[in-house]
Amino acid sequence: MQQRNPGGDRQIFIQEVCPRDGLQNEAVFVSTEDKIALINQLSACGFAKIEVTSFTSPKAIPALKDAEEVMKNIRRNPAVEYSVLVPNLRGAERAMACLIDEANLVMSASASHNFTNLRMSREASVEQLSLVINALKGSSAAINLSLSAAFGCPFEGDVAEATVLRLIEHFALREVRGITLCDTTGMAYPSQVASLCRQVKQQFPQLEITLHFHDTRGMALANTLAALGEGINRFDAATGGLGGCPYAPGASGNVCTEDMVHMLTLMGYQTGVNLESLLEISRDLPRLIGHNVPGSLARAGMRSDLHPMPASLEQQFKGCVPAGVQL
């Protein structure tokens, strides 16, 4: 970081995951109509990509049981890629029927986390996702793999870098477009992020790499900074900082989109995201989900949102003629 605005107009792609990763963790069912309205609003904010929903079994994630209806009824902005989570072949068929732009496959870098989430071994996940990839290749959908627990597992602890790299290799051989390194339960720390990003970029220069942080332990923006330093240009984030993990109680959610965009913009990076519009959406989220959001900016306002001086002091201040040393 050599100058005050190291961004130097570098383009950063922000991928909004609130409608999927955020809402799937909420106790209330947000109505299909409200979901569609939310996504339509987000579509006008300047995101590179929006993760719309998940084509999992409605029994597994009832919050997103309206996946088809949402995906088919949103107003698509041609400048935005619409991605959906696809866990298996059945999900891929449902997703392709909705003409998605991207299928986001998912498995975990840790054996116990993969088993807990997907009820199978990692080896079985790789095989099953290979079939999903084959099926998707008949469509125009791009394919991304989200690798959960890539920076640590809430049950096992550390996950070896070598394991993460070997898993990525399996999917690179199957020619997915991108890989997302997911810090599912907020275990990543900046030097670890830098190290893994460097190796993944070096070994797989053909892949589009996304970083997906959770702010569980307050390090999400520090981790973002570390990833930026390694040339990473794509980040997942959720408006309001919604999200979480059912197996890590007390954990807070995804990195908050407006907090991330605010920091990146101050640093001179170009995200294309309209922060004012995004803040309006974030401040309306409590109406949909019934509680306050964890992100900072909706509460504190932007750095440029100044406050008035206490009225009783303002007149005195204006009349105060500085005396004494020369400043």
Q: How far is the CB of 101 from a second copy (least distance, A)?
A: 28
Number of residues that bind a second copy (CB under 8 A): 85
Nearer to a second copy, 35 or 262 (CB): 262
- Binding a second copy (rule: CB under 8 A), the pick from 259, 279, 285, 289 is 259
**Residue 324 engages a second copy in binding (rule: CB under 8 A):** yes
Using CA atoms, how far apart are residues 134 and 136, in angstroms rounded to an integer?
Answer: 6
- The token duo for 149 is 């627990």
Q: Is 216 exposed, middle or buried (0-12, 13-18, 19+ CB in 10 A)?
A: buried
Task: For residue 195, state whether it binds a second copy (rule: CB under 8 A).
Answer: yes
x-or-dash string of contact with a second copy, 42-81, rule CB under 8 A: ----------------------------------------
Longest pairwise C-alpha distance within the chain = 78
Choices 48-56, 81-89, 90-98, 159-167 (CB under 8 A): range interacting with a second copy? 159-167
Residue 256 annotated in active site: no
Catalytic residue among 98, 245, 256, 320: 245
Cα-flanking dihedrals φ and ψ of residue 104, to 5°? -105, 100
| Pick 72 or 303: Cβ nearer a second copy | 303
Q: From residue 214 to residue 253, what is the string marking binding to a second copy with x (rule CB under 8 A)?
A: -xxxxxxxx-xxx--x-----------------xxxxxx-
Length of the chain measured in residues:
327
Residues 98-137 that bind a second copy (CB under 8 A): 111-112, 115-116, 119-124, 126-127
Nearer to a second copy, 94 or 244 (CB): 244
Q: Say if strands 102-108 and 49-54 run parallel, antiparallel, or are unpaired.
A: unpaired
Query: What residues act catalytically?
Result: 245
